[in-house]
A and B are shown apart, each in its own frame.
Chain A
Amino acid sequence: MLGPFLETLIGGLLTGVLYSLVALGFVLIFKASGVFNFAQGAMVLFAALTLARLTGEIDGREVHLANFVVAAAILGTALAFIAWYAWREFVARGGGPAEGQRMAILAAVGALIGGAVAWFYGKGAWPLWVALPATAAIMGVLAYAIERLVLRHLVNQEGIILFMATLGIAYFLDGFGQTLWGSDIYKINLGLPKDPIFLFENVFPGGLLVEPGDLVAALIAGLLVVVLAIFFQKTRIGRALRAVADDHAAAQSVGIPLNTIWLIVWTVSGFVALAAGVIWGAKLGVQFSISLIALKALPVLILGGFTSVPGAIVGGLIIGAGEKLSEVFLAPILVKQFDLAGGGIENWFAYMLALIFLLFRPQGLFGERIIERV
């Protein structure tokens, strides 16, 4: 009994790490801007799709070439719009070293990158070490576009309006990613060993089965958390981010530029989305359903607290383990007892688990205590 239990537990914990990764992206943005970013799942999908298509085989290219042309046209229009807007702003400010100038340059750079992507895309698959930075750059551009075109116009709106806007962004990104890169199932090949590893073979009969991919994922996630922790605690920008998280107005009054901070936060969570996308993509293949893991990450969030990075990690582990254990051990009992048409309780079990936690700690496990005054 102990053997299967431990095996399920380890499998659950390793899946939980992936949930943590997605939840981490949520937490970063919520902490720094109070935006409940539902588009995180769509960002994961977009990053994974981009990487998969850049590194992938080019079979079926003709089919996607038409898509690509349309998408390039849309992208071009958007960039042209940004450039025009930037130029207007530039002129309006009397031609000083305004942000408009920076934007025009950025738009030009974006167009160049777009062109380069288009050029190389036609040539064939990219090696991973080229595609990974390119995807990261694309995520950065995306973060900039979101900040510039959406968030900046919604400053001081209520939380629900911002949440709705990110839902809109999620829809847009889902459509955009699939328009740009096609909607088949793609593979990301990280060159990892596929054969399962057996641990503790001398302790349990048959040992414990562990996928090496999961282990690597856990390693990457752990590394990412350490890097983020250092970034938040030790660097100047990290300090600014924490200041903004504490109090927007106070941070602004001591001269921290909010827009820049938001841009950084969205970029970082874009990178986190890329990491999550790569790992999920390598594990399950890149397809539309990846964007649904945002829904899996939500119970992790409320369990760990919206504002806590360690909460996202611990919450992810609890949810991952609870989900798998419930599916393996609780579901058969339920099915037998109530004559159900199958288990599948992992879809809601995580939510119920989180809900029960919340009844005792409304701010989540590690969330900051919510103090309300009239």
Chain B
Amino acid sequence: MLYREAGQFKTTYGADQQIFPILQDRLFVLAVILAAFLVVPLFASQYLYTEILIPFLILSLAAIGLNILVGYCGQVSLGTGGFMAVGAYAAYNLWLRVPELNNLVVVFLFGGLMSAAVGILFGLPSLRIKGFYLAVATLASQFFLDWLFARVKWLTNYTPSGSVAVGETSAFGWKIDTPAERYLFILAFVVVATLVAKNLVRGHIGRSWMAIRDMDIAAEIIGFQPLRTKLSAFAVSSFFIGIAGAMWGFLRLGSWEPLAFDINRSFQILFMVIIGGLGSLLGSFLGAAFIVLTPIVLNQMPGWLGVKLSTAMISHLEFMVFGAMIVFFLIVEPHGLARLWSIAKEKLRLWPFPH
């Protein structure tokens, strides 16, 4: 950036281990968070909340979860949608069956925990199989969970076609109803979750994930147990994904059916992780922003250009442009948007006197 660490001396270990060791970085992140909490509600419209900000935040959380598994631990998973569904339906069942406990925080955490349990179960094959074999094996969880929620009547409270709806929601007596309230609630959740994730990945457990990712046999030899490491990655990842799924159901959709969490959702979130940048939390946010905004822009494009096209045509063109953009991004920067950001930062350190 335009500033550098010169002159900032650290005198304690605590200061040395901060997440953002440079003062300006700390201030910048703090400013962004404050702006998100205080400034955005001043001008945001209903559309901005429900179509852009809320999906962006929830999917960012899901992308962080998947990034822990794919980017940090190196286990490719195509079952994200299924784990989101577990979170959503577990949260729904707790909310429905224990009405005294109408507290979204508890409900969401329960969804996350259930999802983590299922994640551990479906993570077991990762101990035996690797790479693309594992990726395809995780599809088993996706299809099985899809089927489970469509067919087992108890889970959907005996509603036809498995579609469920939630009514009034609140947390600690705060009724969460309007889009602005939902946004703030989700934002608080995502900020805390990101902080937790950041600390996890830079701590001992995160390092063990990265060791397994870089070479699992070598990691085993230096003393990381593959069982514990891989399953903990599956558990933590599914926990975040489950919370995101519960949020998606409760606060984005309100009423949903298993189709909301089908395989396209899995691919969508994997795209976010890859385009954003593997092994980068910032990348999860950038990727989510990209994937959420692109279809909206593409959808509006013909209208802006004054071209009249049928809706079917627009959706086909959307597919095309979306696919082409993904390929383009992968070719230009296979390490994702996060890498572009860090390149820009490196350049700016020396700017305007590069030599």
Q: Do B326 and A351 touch (CB < 8 A)?
A: no
A170 proximity list for chain B (CB < 8 A)? 323
Q: Do B324 and A351 touch (CB < 8 A)?
A: no
Closest residue on chain B to residue A162 by CB atoms: B330
B143 partner, pick from A339, A343, A347, A372, beta carbons under 8 A: A347
A159 proximity list for chain B (CB < 8 A)? 131-132
* CB of B42 within 8 Å of the partner chain: no
Q: Assess A351 versus B139: contact at CB under 8 Å? Given A160-B274, A358-B128.
A: yes
Q: Do A171 and B133 touch (CB < 8 A)?
A: no
Q: Assess A351 versus B144: contact at CB under 8 Å? Given A154-B330, A160-B274.
A: yes
Q: Do B132 and A163 touch (CB < 8 A)?
A: yes
Q: Do B327 and A161 touch (CB < 8 A)?
A: no
Instruction: Tell me the complex Cα distance, A342–B153, Å.
Output: 10
Q: How many residues of A contact B (CB 8 A)?
A: 59
Closest residue on chain A to residue B140 by CB atoms: A351
B52 proximity list for chain A (CB < 8 A)? none
Q: Do A168 and B326 touch (CB < 8 A)?
A: yes
* CB of B193 within 8 Å of the partner chain: no
Q: Do A36 and B132 touch (CB < 8 A)?
A: yes
* CB of B347 within 8 Å of the partner chain: no
Q: Assess A172 versus B320: contact at CB under 8 Å? Given A301-B136, A339-B153.
A: yes
B271 proximity list for chain A (CB < 8 A)? 164, 167
Q: Do A358 and B318 touch (CB < 8 A)?
A: no
Q: Do B330 and A165 touch (CB < 8 A)?
A: yes
Q: Do B131 and A178 touch (CB < 8 A)?
A: no
Within residues 123 to 137 of chain B, which ones have a CB less than 8 A from any CB in chain A? Answer: 125, 128-133, 135-137
* CB of B322 within 8 Å of the partner chain: yes
A355 proximity list for chain B (CB < 8 A)? 125, 137, 140
Instruction: Tell me the complex Cα distance, A149–B74, Å.
Output: 28
Indicate with 1 or 0, residue by residue over A320-360, a CB within 8 angstroms of chain B CB atoms. Answer: 00000000000000000011111111011001101100110
Q: Assess A173 versus B334: contact at CB under 8 Å? Given A159-B131, A295-B263, A348-B147.
A: no
Instruction: Tell me the complex Cα distance, A154–B328, Å.
Output: 11
Instruction: Tell me the complex Cα distance, A327–B324, Å.
Output: 38
A364 proximity list for chain B (CB < 8 A)? 133
Contact segment of B43-51, B61-69, B215-223, B232-240: B215-223
Q: How many residues of B contact A (CB 8 A)?
A: 50
Q: Assess A358 versus B137: contact at CB under 8 Å? Given A168-B327, A374-B221.
A: yes
Minimum CB–CB distance from A297 to chain B (whole Å) comes to 10
B133 proximity list for chain A (CB < 8 A)? 302, 306, 358, 362-364
* CB of B331 within 8 Å of the partner chain: yes
Q: Do A295 and B139 touch (CB < 8 A)?
A: yes
Closest residue on chain A to residue B78 by CB atoms: A298
Minimum CB–CB distance from B147 to chain A (whole Å) comes to 5
Q: Do A347 and B137 touch (CB < 8 A)?
A: no
A168 partner, pick from B70, B263, B312, B324, beta carbons under 8 A: B324
A352 proximity list for chain B (CB < 8 A)? 140, 144
* CB of B4 within 8 Å of the partner chain: no
A163 proximity list for chain B (CB < 8 A)? 132, 135
Instruction: Tell me the complex Cα distance, A25–B263, Å.
Output: 22
Q: Do B316 and A172 touch (CB < 8 A)?
A: no
A74 proximity list for chain B (CB < 8 A)? 320
Within residues 1 to 21 of chain A, which ones have a CB less than 8 A from any CB in chain B? Answer: none
* CB of B152 within 8 Å of the partner chain: yes
* CB of B150 within 8 Å of the partner chain: yes
Minimum CB–CB distance from A327 to chain B (whole Å) comes to 12
Instruction: Tell me the complex Cα distance, A67–B131, Å.
Output: 40
* CB of A284 within 8 Å of the partner chain: no
A343 proximity list for chain B (CB < 8 A)? 151
A347 partner, pick from B76, B136, B146, B320, beta carbons under 8 A: B146
B76 proximity list for chain A (CB < 8 A)? 160
Minimum CB–CB distance from B316 to chain A (whole Å) comes to 4
* CB of B267 within 8 Å of the partner chain: yes
Q: Do A172 and B327 touch (CB < 8 A)?
A: yes
Q: Assess A175 versus B318: contact at CB under 8 Å? Given A302-B136, A374-B221.
A: yes
Instruction: Tell me the complex Cα distance, A98–B318, Å.
Output: 36
* CB of B98 within 8 Å of the partner chain: no
* CB of B305 within 8 Å of the partner chain: no
Q: Do A302 and B320 touch (CB < 8 A)?
A: no
* CB of B81 within 8 Å of the partner chain: no
A164 partner, pick from B143, B270, B317, beta carbons under 8 A: B270
* CB of B341 within 8 Å of the partner chain: no
* CB of B20 within 8 Å of the partner chain: no
* CB of A183 within 8 Å of the partner chain: yes
Minimum CB–CB distance from A166 to chain B (whole Å) comes to 9
Closest residue on chain B to residue A161 by CB atoms: B334
Q: Do B327 and A347 touch (CB < 8 A)?
A: no
The 10 closest A-B pairs by CB, nearest first: A175-B319, A171-B323, A172-B323, A168-B326, A175-B320, A351-B140, A348-B143, A168-B327, A348-B144, A340-B151
Extra contacts besides A171-B319, A340-B153 (4): CB < 8 Å: A149-B327, A161-B274, A165-B331, A175-B319
* Listed A/B pairs (13) with beta-carbon separation below 8 Å: A168-B327, A171-B320, A172-B323, A175-B319, A176-B319, A178-B312, A178-B319, A344-B150, A347-B143, A348-B143, A359-B129, A364-B133, A374-B221
